[in-house]
Structure 1
Amino acid sequence: MEAVVETWNATWEGWFGPVHELTKDYPFMYPIAVPLVCIAYLLMVLVGPVLMNGKKLDMKPVMRVYNLFMVVLSSYMGTMSLWQAYQGSYSSVWCVPFAEGKLGVEMARLSWIFTVSKVIEFLDTFFMILESRMRQVSFLHVYHHISIFIYWAAITWMAPGSDAYFSLAINSYIHVLMYGYYLLASFGYSPWWKYYITYMQILQFFAFCGQSLTVGWMKTCEFPKMLGQVLLWYMITLITLFGNFLVQNKFKKGAKSKTMKKTM
């Protein structure tokens, strides 16, 4: 087992280099944590439904607390990220320098918190399993949760600052709306923005494509070129999957509407 861990550590550091000075002392900042978290999540997805065996638990009270917590946490992360950008007097939206001193330390802390928040979001899947809503535990759902965690684990390990602020801020605010919708829906209220959440998610992916082209190919920036280039291909997969989800939903709604008209 020790040999496996050492091999993985060497492989990870071969890809991403040594851990960044500003995040090396944070909890879980060691390479083996990433595959362990992913394996635990996949085991939950595969074994959870078997253990539940069709039983359904009412998780609504717990989920209300969870959704409220995620709204508050996401609001904090998004606001603090923009505040750091303001304090750093960034002269452009993309290709920004690493902040120095206190600002750099704070941005690294936010990057770590954001990465941990992606692990906390695994609870989305956990609650779906407990309520036997397995139809929602789709490939898109699982892929999105695991992949965003891996990508941000790499950012926090390698470059917890610079252009990381951009995706951190945008994604956090979209999650404010998403978890806010979940919270309000649990009380029977349907907010107007629920119809636009998927569109906003896809729009952010296109924005990240622009960031990737700028940071990864068009300019020489302080943010690692490798992470910038990987971002484009990663966003293409998400645009494809979310776009397919959107089209399928529209097709199903259209078919349902036609069926209702025929029966009237």
Structure 2
Amino acid sequence: MLSQYLKQPVYWYDWMMSKGDPRTSDWPLLGSPFPILSIIASYVYFVKVLGPVWMKNKKPYSIGRVVIVYNIIQVILSAFFFFYGGSMTYLSTKYNWLCQPISYATDPETMTLVNLGWYYLLLKIFEFTDTIFFILRKKFTHISALHVVHHSSVAWGIWIGMKFGAGGHNAFFPFINCFVHMIMYAYYCLAALGPHMKPYLWWKKYLTIMQMVQFVVAFIHGVLPLYFDCDFPPGFVYIIIGHAALFLVMFFNFYKKAYRKDVSEKTRAEEESNCYDGQGRVDENLVNFNGFHENGNVHKRR
């Protein structure tokens, strides 16, 4: 009987779905993994294949003002999730910083936080718009593997948390991520105003450092339930630290290439005219900048 079950993927799928958070099992996008996976797959296909082909013989769209408004919206939304969500978690005494169990309660306060988590998932999907702007403006070289993988995996990771255990220790990464994004999108909004803002954007490099610190903190915090038992599922621990480790390595690898000390003055001057951000895309302080994530300078692609 056991060997028969092992050969049946449907059995494992049904078993996995039975472990889902009963409070969110019937919510849009959370009933099964197929809707979110379809959205992510469509996003990847569009930005890597369909979009560039569609725009091949078209002129880039002039959407500078749209980009500015978009960045302002992202700052506002990030601030809202950080302060409002934080008031129910880590900015209050309600959550333990060392280890917070997942509460499957259905009282109004708990469900408010769970509902907020669902809207946070929508925010991560909304951030796919970053890459769509690149397509519309024919900035295809900005769409690096790091950029696309980061967008896709964060959305998928938030889905896993919402599907199997909304809240608890899982709430920490969204908490610090919103703080980073609040500052980050403020930078990009300033940069999008034009070249005259460049002298005020000297702190670009430190956004990359801030992002890496975010992953270090997320990794350390994710490990804590292994030492401070609060009945937090270990499966979530390994997902959290795996995600944090992956992106710490990717961003650190980018940082080394972007800011290595032996870059000649001539090469650095060339890089300044082709400022790539921490997602491997151009930081367009000089040419219709649209910001996304971590910043830095890397060699111009030949």
Using structure 1 for the length normalisation, give the TM-score: 0.86
Do structure 1's residue 63 and structure 2's residue 67 form an aligned pair? Answer: yes
Find the partner of 1:231 among 229, 240, 249.
Answer: 240
**1:208-245 alpha-carbon deviations (Å, 9 max, x no partner):** 11122112x32333432101112212211101110111
Matched, 1:19 2:20: yes
Relative to structure 1, the CA distance from residue 106 to residue 260 in structure 2 (aligned partners, 3 Å threshold; closer, same or farther) is closer
1:10 Cα offset (Å): 6.1
Q: Secondary structure at the match of 1:93?
A: coil
Find the aligned partners of 1:74 and 1:10 in 2 and give their Cα distance.
39
Once residues 214 and 200 of structure 1 are traced to their aligned partners in structure 2, the CA distance between those partners, rounded to angstroms, is 21
Match of 1:4?
none
| Residue type at the aligned position of 1:244 | N
Equivalent residue letter for 2:46? M
User: Cα distance, 1:26 vs. partner?
Assistant: 3.0
Kept in 1: contact 2:98–2:228 (CA 8 A): no
The normalised TM-score by structure 2 is 0.76
Aligned to 2:229: 220
Give 1:19 deviation, angstroms.
Answer: 3.4
Take 2:158 and 2:111, find their aligned partners in 1: how far apart are those partners?
17
The 2-side partners of 1:9 and 1:124 are apart by 36
Once the 2 structures are TM-superposed, how far is the Cα of residue 95 of structure 1 from its aligned partner?
1.1
Matches within 5 A, 1:16-95: 17-31=18-32, 32-45=34-47, 46-53=49-56, 55-85=59-89, 89-90=93-94, 92-95=96-99
Does the aligned pair in 1 maintain the 2:90–2:96 contact within 8 Å?
A: no
Distance in 2 of aligned mates of 1:111 and 1:140: 25
More deviation, 190-199/203-212 = 190-199
List gaps (5 residues or longer) in structure 1.
1-6
Q: Deviations over 1:19-47 (max 9, x none)?
A: 32332343222221121111111111221
Root-mean-square deviation over aligned CA pairs: 2.6
1:199 aligns with 2:199: no
The number of aligned residues is: 254
How far apart are the structure 2 equivalents of 1:65 and 1:53? 26
AA matched with 1:214:
L
The question of whether the paired residues in 2 share the 8 Å contact of 1:96 and 1:163 is answered with yes
* 1:152 and 2:158 aligned: yes
Q: Say if 1:146 and 1:184 are closer, same or farther in 2 by CA, change over 3 A.
A: same
* 8 Å contact kept, 2:90–2:97: no
Match of residue 172 from structure 1: 178
Q: Which amino acid aligns with 2:158?
A: W
Structure 2 CA distance, aligned partners of 1:155 and 1:251? 37
Task: Choose 24-33 or 67-76, whichever is displaced more.
Answer: 24-33
State how far apart, in whole Å, the 2-side matches of 1:252 and 1:40 are. Answer: 40
Which ranges in structure 2 are unaligned for 5 or more consecutive residues? 1-7, 271-302
Is the helix fraction higher in 1 or 2?
1
**Contact kept? 1:212, 1:232, Cα under 8 Å:** yes
Q: In 2, are the aligned partners of 1:88 and 1:103 still within 8 Å (CA)?
A: no
Contact kept? 1:48, 1:129, Cα under 8 Å: yes
- Does the 8 A contact of 1:213 with 1:232 survive in 2? yes
Structure 1 residues 87, 250: CA separation in 2 closer, same or farther (over 3 Å shift)?
closer
Residues in 2 aligned to 1:232 and 1:176: alpha-carbon distance in whole angstroms: 23
SS at match of 2:230: coil
Structure 1: which amino acid aligns with 2:66?
Answer: V
SS of residue in 2 equivalent to 1:30: coil
- Letter paired with 1:80: Y
Q: Which amino acid aligns with 2:258?
A: N
- C-alpha deviation, 1:67, in angstroms: 1.0
